[in-house]
Amino acid sequence: MTFVPFKNGVAGTLLSVTAAAGMLLGAQTASAQKVDFSGERIEWVIPYGTGGGSNRWARFYVPWLQKALPGNPIVAIKNMPGASSTKGTNYFARRGSTDGLSILGTSGSTQFPFLLDDKRVKYDYADWEVILATPVGGIVYVNSSLGVKSAAEMKKLQKVKLKFGSQGPTSLDLVPLLAFDILGLNVKAVFGMKGRGPARLAFERGEVRIDYQTTPAFIKRVMPLVKKGDAVPLFTWGMLDAKGNLTRDPTFPNLPHLGEVYEMTHGKKPRGPGWSAWKAFFAAGFPAQKMIFVKKGTPKHIVAAWRKAAADAIKLPGFEEAKNKALGKYPQSVGAEAQTLKKVATAVSPKSKAWVKNWLKNRHNVKF
C-alpha cells in the first residue's frame, strides 16, 4: 500500500506506480554500483532541534541508510533549528554540496512557509531531488488536569482558555491552529518554539495544556506521559484514503480523527471553506510529511545510488518491525512514488492558499 497523489487541490486517486518505481530502480542499478562512499562522512541537515519528531525520524533512519549506502559511510545529523525550519533549510540551499555527501530532511514545517510565500524562505523544492518520503500522523492531547478523559468530552474544552506552544503560524502548526478554530476551541498560540520538542517540554512544565506531536515523537515522548496519567490523547488528524476521505490513523485506530470529533461536538459533518483549506494543507503536510533530498546538479549516478539505497534500506531484515515501533504503521515511499508525493506536498489550490493567507492575516496578524 502506498500513499500517493491527490488532485483538484486536496485529494484524488492513488496512482499505481510500483511497477514504474521498479523499472526506475532497475535502470539505475548499474550506474549506482559505480558509487562508493567508503570512508566518507555524509552531513544530514535537519532544520529542527533534537527533541521533536523530525529528529526522531532522522535518527531512526541513520543506521539503515549506513547499511544500505555503497561503502557504508557515516551519516551524521546536523540539527539546525530556527525560524520555523527555514534557517537550516536555507543553509542547505546555500551551502549543500552536489557530491552526494550532503542531504536535507524536511517536514511539513519546511513545506508550509514555501507554500505560503514566507519572506524568510530562500529555497525552492524544484532545486532538489527527492530520495524518500515518509507519511506521518498527528495526535492531539491535553493535560489530565482538565478533567477530559476522551474526545467524547470535547465540549468541556470549548469553555476553557487554553495555551498552545507553536513554532509559528506558517509552520506545520498551521494544521492544529486551523483545527482548533474549526472545533470552536479558545486556544491562544505561544509562538517562538524552535520545534515541537520545546513545545512538548512546555506542556510537561504545565505552561501549556494542549499540544500535538507527530507520530514518532508521540510514541517516544508522549506515551510515557499517557501511561503516568499526565496526558490524555484525544484525536488524530487521520489519514486520507484513495478518494480523499479522512479515515482513522492506522497507528492509533482507537482514536477518532478530526472529522469525527467535529461531528461529536457539532452534530453534523464539517464543511465550508475553512474545512476545505484545512484538508488541503493537511494533504500537503502529512502524506509526505518528511522527505530526504539531495540537490539538483548531483550527478545522476549518485542520485541513483541514493534512491537504490533508500529502496534497499526499507527492505532490510527487521526494518518493518522497527519502523512500526518507532515511526508508526505507515508505508515508506521511494522512487516514482516519492517523486509523486513531493509534487503533492509542494502544491495547494490557489483558492485554499488565498483563504488561509487571509485567515492568517486576520487571526494571527501574519504579513505577506
Question: Residue 130 and residue 290: Cα distance in Å, rounded?
Answer: 11
Highest-confidence segment of 18-22, 30-34, 357-361: 357-361
Question: Residue 26 and residue 35: Cα distance in Å, rounded?
Answer: 16
**Which of the residue ranges 4-18, 41-55, 162-176 would you say has the lowest mean pLDDT?**
4-18
pLDDT tens digits, 300-313: 999 999 999 999 99
Residue holding cell 484545512? Answer: 278
Is the pLDDT confidence value at 11 over 50? no
Q: Which amino acid is at 157?
A: L
The Cα-based distances of 244 to 23, 98, 276, 283 in angstroms read 28, 37, 11, 9
The Cα-based distances of 368 to 132, 345, 348 in angstroms read 31, 21, 17
Question: Residue 366 and residue 363: Cα distance in Å, rounded?
Answer: 8
Question: Residue 281 and residue 230: Cα distance in Å, rounded?
Answer: 30
Dihedral of alpha carbons 303, 304, 307, 310, sign: negative
**Are the beta carbons of 215 and 136 closer than 8 angstroms?**
yes
Residue among 78, 70, 119 nearest 97 (CA): 78
pLDDT tens digits, 174-191: 999 999 999 999 999 999
Burial 168-177, CB ≥16 within 10 A → b, else e = bbbbbbbbbb
Task: Using DSSP bridges, classify how beta strands 138-143 and 210-214 pair: parallel, antiparallel or unpaired.
Answer: antiparallel
So what's the pLDDT on residue 33?
55
So what's the pLDDT on residue 339?
93
- What are the chain's domains? 18-135+285-352 (3.40.190.150), 138-283 (3.40.190.10)
Is the pLDDT confidence value at 31 over 60? no
Question: Residue 128 and residue 65: Cα distance in Å, rounded?
Answer: 19
